[in-house]
Amino acid sequence: MEYRIEVENLNVYFDELHILKDISLQIPKNAVTSLIGPSGCGKSTFIRTLNRMNDMISTFKMDGTVLLDGEDIYNPKVDVVELRKKVGMVFQKPNPFPKSIFDNVAYGLRVHGISDKDYLAQKVEESLKAAALWDEVKNILDKSAMGLSGGQQQRLCIARTIAVEPEVILMDEPCSALDPISTTKIEDLIHKLKNDFTIIIVTHNMQQATRVSKYTAFFLHGEIVESGLTEKIFIEPEDKRTEDYITGRFG
Amino acid sequence: MHRVIPPKIAQKIMTGVFWASGLLTIVILLVIIGYVLLKGMPALSLEFILGNPIRSGRSGGIFPFIMSSIYVTLIAILVATPLGVGAAVYLSEYAGENRIVKLIRFGAETLSSIPSIVFGLFGLAFFVIYLGLGWSVLSGGLTLALMALPTILAASEVSIESINKSYAEGSLALGATKWQTIYKVVIPAALPGITTGVILGMGRAIAEAAAVLYTVGAALMIPTSLMDAARPLPLHLYILATEGLSMQNAWGTAAVLVIMILIITVVTNVLVDRYRKKMMGR
């Protein structure tokens, strides 16, 4: 099997707090991997380590290796801007910019120096289509993204991420602020996107993990208890703690 | 517990008190503006606004003073806005919570409570004499810039701080640099608040007599260069009133000043409102 991301013996600290403990995990290419576990177990910290969003926190310290396509992303020579182009992120709460729908999707391309109008228009259309939002917004591209519903905003954020053609998309509980219908739309979208992107999704929703992902990793107190095929984790978990969590006995 | 006033009655009384304070504020404002306009009205005419002063302003118009006001205020805003917004960006986005930051903030707060006549004296010593700029539009404008600076800085900082941190995260996650994020996302989102700060600073600068008293001179002609002496409206008003040249023209000048400030405030409010609606989509 081909892996997009390989994490080996990763430890993360904030000041003296040991948040992630000796994490090793391999993320298969062009598939969806779910990260599950109770709140505060380190899932979000983990995915924010993969696009170096934790760098902004002054107390952040880490050791171990994180390889993207075999290259260490914490190598001092790595350009964080280039890394984040390859590893996009969708946040828990939809966070479109207070700009027009068009400018939101074009933003990533523009900051990377693309200004050709025809090319931008074409990429914006492609990305909105890929995010299953085009039909709803094609006539209001110049209107503010803040006027869209929460579900539309989240799909816009996905379109914005797709537009810069990342290899990996990190999703940090992308549906937790959305209603069930919007959630279904996002899940359908994830199904569509998994052929072209490697997707890592943090979720608190067990059903969602089984619906969208091929692989699952179960986090507890900063460690990975168990990881592997989603079916295996949910039908015959090896660890008692995994079983307790997925059957709702704690968490 | 024995209650003297039943809660429902207390609620009604306090609602009335707050309502009355709100109303009183508006009434005071309207009375002052109305009184100034009423007293100034007899002096107001096209010749008064567009004419040159005759016999030191005893009669004739105030056009050179209107232009003086516009020039010194423009200089003040052009100098103070980049400085104030730049410092606000530094304080809210780059600097952590350290002693230098606290010192800058303390400095700005102190600066905003220094009496304007002290700014005037400082302007005289520093710009007029030490830098050799003389009594000029430039000296007056720079002195006013110092006065407007803390207002613009404080309003910009509050506005930038209040911008949702999730916008910046979204931008950085797309591979934007910190500067791109500030320039393309944070500042546009904070622009309504920054503009309000600039308008407050402008209001402070345009209405100032004491700070320009020792710095711009008291010329009667339209300044044609930065180094020319000038006489902004508040200063002209002060001279007319203290030297008893013409009370009627003093009121007329006051009315013009009030109208100018009203126009600036209303126009920017409309523009800011429109921008905000476009940005937020409602």
- The nearest CA of chain A is from the CA of B173 a distance in Å of 6
Task: Give me the residue label for tokens 């803390």.
Answer: B150
Query: CA-to-CA distance for B103 and B113, rounded, in angstroms?
Result: 16
Domains located in chain A, CATH noted: 3-246 (3.40.50.300)
Displacement of CA B246 from its chain's centroid (Å): 28
Q: Are A207 and A247 in contact (CB under 8 A)?
A: no
DSSP string of B65-93, one letter each residue:
HHHHHHHHHHHHHHHHHHHHHHHHHIIII
Could you tell me the two tokens for B30?
Answer: 């309207």
Of B175, B185, B278, the CB nearest to A84: B175
* Nearest-Cα residue of chain A relative to residue B183: A111
A55-59, A103-107, A123-127, A189-193: range with lowest mean pLDDT: A55-59
Q: Is the pLDDT of residue B96 over 80?
A: no
Of B166, B173, B185, the CB nearest to A88: B173
Q: Are B123 and B143 in contact (CB under 8 A)?
A: yes
Q: What is the CA radius of gyration of chain B?
A: 23
Could you tell me the two tokens for B233?
Answer: 């409206």
User: In this structure, which amino acid lies at residue B48?
Assistant: F
* Nearest-Cα residue of chain B relative to residue A166: B174
Of B167, B177, B282, the CB nearest to A97: B167
pLDDT band at A224 (very low <50, low <70, confident <90, very high): very high
Average pLDDT, chain B: 92
DSSP strand pairing (A3-14 vs A60-68): antiparallel
Whole-number pLDDT of residue B1: 60
Of B175, B188, B281, the CB nearest to A146: B281
DSSP conformation class of B254: H
In sequence order, the 6+-apart residues with CB closer than 8 A to the CB of A148 are A96, A101, A137, A156, B281
DSSP conformation class of B52: P
Whole-number pLDDT of residue A124: 97
Q: Is the pLDDT of residue A192 over 70?
A: yes
Average pLDDT of the residues in B88-102: 85
Query: How does pLDDT run across B235-277, given as a tens digit for each residue?
Result: 999 999 999 889 999 999 999 999 999 999 999 999 999 999 9
Question: Is A89's Cβ below 8 Å from some Cβ in B?
Answer: yes
- Is the dihedral angle over the CA atoms A167, A172, A173, A175 positive or is it negative? negative
**ipTM, 2 dp:** 0.91
In sequence order, the 6+-apart residues with CB closer than 8 A to the CB of B243 are none
Whole-number pLDDT of residue B249: 93
- Write the CA distances from A132 to A157, A162, A167, B275, integer angstroms: 12, 12, 19, 29
Question: Is B272's Cβ below 8 Å from some Cβ in A?
Answer: no
**SS3 state at A101:** helix
Q: Is the pLDDT of residue A60 over 60?
A: yes
Whole-number pLDDT of residue A251: 55
**Residue A15 half-sphere exposure, CB side, CA atoms within 13 Å?**
1
Whole-number pLDDT of residue B21: 96
Percentage of chain A lying above the pLDDT 70 cut = 99
Say what the pTM is: 0.85
Question: Is A79's Cβ below 8 Å from some Cβ in B?
Answer: no
Percentage of chain A lying above the pLDDT 90 cut = 88
- The nearest CA of chain B is from the CA of A141 a distance in Å of 12
- The nearest CA of chain A is from the CA of B125 a distance in Å of 45
Partners of residue A164 in chain B, C-beta under 8 Å:
174-175
Whole-number pLDDT of residue B244: 86
